[in-house]
Structure 1
Amino acid sequence: MVVVGSLNMDLVARAPRLPKPGETLAGHAFAQVPGGKGGNQAVAAARLGARVAMLGCVGGDANGAILRRGLEAESIDCAALGTSASAPTGVALIIVDDASQNAIVIVAGSNAEVTPETVARHEALLATADVIVCQLETPPDAVRAALAAGRRLRKTTILNPAPAASALPDDWFPLIDYLIPNELEAATLAGIGIATPDDARRAAAALRQKGARNVIVTLGSQGVYALLEGGEGEHLRAPAVKAIDTTAAGDTFIGGFAAELARGSAVSAAIAFGQRAAALAVTREGAQPSIPQRSEISA
């Protein structure tokens, strides 16, 4: 599979709670760890059984070198990972509170240099994939180009619409085989507030109506709502665990789900596998450090 997306260095502070506007809080821990939704999903898919290539861009700085080495250590193909001549590597500023909730600010840096031309240069790589995974931390025109290439090449396309600041253009939806938003992103895309699985059902139906073949809304501790092609829709509960840090839960789910699809598993089995992987990830701190290996996932 090929992941088209972002790579960030995560600067993570832990505090008793999330600060209010204008407030300064005393934190009690700090860590600098590899992240970015693209990088996280690539690492998750690699650890969970897929052969993965990364298409993205880092800066020519220490953070970029660390991120590249980290991907290579996971046996991820980095031939399509560019290095910016001018922009720094992207960063994410993350605060995690004692209830394991987080707030994140992203500075794109070199991620902004992923363009439709970048995607076109690497179409031969996309042609080798079974699954192409995208997010929204790189420029929208590049994401659309990757989805369009996937559709043209008859590949399975997955879009994690994160972060979703506004509705997607209507012409994106027919390019997407699996649209996987969380509840906030689904609410933004569908224009429907989501507090319950039934709300997620209505949002998923609205997004399917726009043209996405399958919609899977992740609901944190409430599990997922999956509306699959030809199906009636189903609420699938999450495994019960004690969460410590939810930072990479969604990325782990998507990486595990995509890895199973690439292995030829049924969609229902891929969803269940992704849920088990995400449930284990939230019991650990950090983004990529929390992502489990395939051998750790129960059958």
Structure 2
Amino acid sequence: MVRRIAVVGSNMTDLVTSIIRMPAPGETLEAPSFFMGFGGKGANQAVAAARLGAEVMMVTKVGDDVFGESTIRNLQDNGIDTRHVAIVEGQSSGVAPIFVDESGENSILIIKGANNSLLPRDIDAAAEDLKQCSLILLQLEVPLETVYHTIEFASRHGIETVLNPAPAAPDLDTAKVGKATFVVPNETELKLMTGLPTGTDEEIETAARALMARGIRTVIVTLGSRGARLVTAAGSTIIEPLKVKPKDTTGAGDAFIGSFARYYVETGELEPSLKKAALYAGDSITRPGTQKSYATAEEFEAFLARGE
């Protein structure tokens, strides 16, 4: 039985356009295709964990529009507990226009909408259910005060936390996230959090240890096609990536974090869970879309069995 995971964070509706290139100012270009999907860093991580068999609950807010209704239905369809997903009257749901070029690289805008209404009092309202969880995942697409409050709540109740400090937030107070168990930034986010360079492996480790000096137990730096670097008090380890030809890298970082959470709460083993997460994320970028690219437990086990 995989233990319970909570995600306190965002949801978005992805508006995905395939492009040859971005238009210049004042220029109109025809794009090859468009589709809508479900996204948002919080919801993505929740869906990845749930599809792999974890018991997941989500604390988030949606607008009173068609996007909100479909978001709740999608979470439920993926087996996620939505008792603490609230509708905000008079607010739009979060949306994310995404532009994906021919190489699979993406450019993303986010409009937070109702995500901005997720406040500390909502964490307090969900407190009794959150206390039943062994791990809480957080990101920065909701108000920082809510992130700080949740980390403090989790620390007080002996619950481990994963903070994904994305999108990068210049006003993030690293002193207030020092009680997070795991922090999972990319190189840019790590540089912003520490004020230190992250251009080489040595600089990345130095910056990660600067975060650990502020109280964070473990730093996991995602490196895109180069995998990830795990930094703990005991040392530094590279988590090798899966070598694939990407079709769409959107949501790969969320696939990594959600799948890591699923395996970590089951086994308590850090490095093996990260290695599996790297494979899961690599598999996800071989298909277009965000949540729809995430494999189920059965699909992922079949993928591992094939040795791809």
TM-score, normalised with respect to structure 1: 0.96
* Secondary structure of 2:14 counterpart: strand
How far off its partner does 1:19 sit? 4.4
- Supply the distance in 2 between the matched residues of 1:30 and 1:291 (Cα, whole angstroms): 19
- Supply the distance in 1 between the matched residues of 2:169 and 2:191 (Cα, whole angstroms): 11
Residue 5 of structure 1 aligns with which residue? 9
* Secondary structure of 1:56 counterpart: strand
Q: Conserved in 2, the CA contact under 8 Å of 1:12 and 1:96?
A: yes
Residue 281 of structure 2 aligns with which residue? 278
Which one-letter code corresponds to 1:255 in the other structure? G
Identity %: 37
1:259 and 2:262 are equivalent in the alignment? yes
Which segment drifts farther, 195-204 or 112-121?
195-204
- Supply the distance in 1 between the matched residues of 2:26 and 2:265 (Cα, whole angstroms): 46
* Runs of 4+ residues over 6 Å off in structure 1: none
**Change beyond 3 A, Cα 1:42–1:187:** same
Residue 74 of structure 1 aligns with which residue? 78
**Change beyond 3 A, Cα 1:142–1:241:** same
How far off its partner does 1:21 sit? 5.4
How far off its partner does 1:16 sit? 1.4
Residue 222 of structure 1 aligns with which residue? 226
1:148 and 2:152 are equivalent in the alignment? yes
How far off its partner does 1:171 sit? 2.5
Of the candidates 114, 121, 124, which is equivalent to residue 125 of structure 2? Answer: 121
Q: Conserved in 2, the CA contact under 8 Å of 1:17 and 1:99?
A: no
- Supply the distance in 2 between the matched residues of 1:132 and 1:97 (Cα, whole angstroms): 33
Q: Conserved in 1, the CA contact under 8 Å of 2:144 and 2:172?
A: no
Of the candidates 93, 99, 120, which is equivalent to residue 95 of structure 1? Answer: 99
User: Gaps spanning 5+ residues in structure 2: where?
Assistant: none
* Superposition RMSD in Å: 1.5
Which one-letter code corresponds to 2:72 in the other structure? R
- Supply the distance in 1 between the matched residues of 2:158 and 2:23 (Cα, whole angstroms): 46
Q: Conserved in 1, the CA contact under 8 Å of 2:19 and 2:102?
A: yes
How far off its partner does 1:23 sit? 4.9
**Change beyond 3 A, Cα 1:100–1:196:** farther
User: Gaps spanning 5+ residues in structure 1: where?
Assistant: none
How far off its partner does 1:295 sit? 2.1
Q: Would you say how many aligned residue pairs link Structure 1 and Structure 2?
A: 298
- Supply the distance in 2 between the matched residues of 1:40 and 1:73 (Cα, whole angstroms): 14
Residue 289 of structure 1 aligns with which residue? 292
**Change beyond 3 A, Cα 1:195–1:97:** farther
- Supply the distance in 1 between the matched residues of 2:118 and 2:210 (Cα, whole angstroms): 30
**Change beyond 3 A, Cα 1:58–1:16:** same
Which one-letter code corresponds to 1:276 in the other structure? L
Which segment drifts farther, 170-179 or 148-157?
170-179
Residue 55 of structure 1 aligns with which residue? 59
**Change beyond 3 A, Cα 1:118–1:225:** same
**Change beyond 3 A, Cα 1:142–1:15:** same
- Supply the distance in 2 between the matched residues of 1:37 and 1:284 (Cα, whole angstroms): 18
Which one-letter code corresponds to 2:149 in the other structure? A
Residue 161 of structure 1 aligns with which residue? 165
**Change beyond 3 A, Cα 1:140–1:95:** same
Of the candidates 246, 250, 261, which is equivalent to residue 249 of structure 2? Answer: 246
TM-score, normalised with respect to structure 2: 0.93
Q: Conserved in 1, the CA contact under 8 Å of 2:94 and 2:110?
A: yes
Which one-letter code corresponds to 1:288 in the other structure? Q
Q: Conserved in 1, the CA contact under 8 Å of 2:151 and 2:177?
A: no
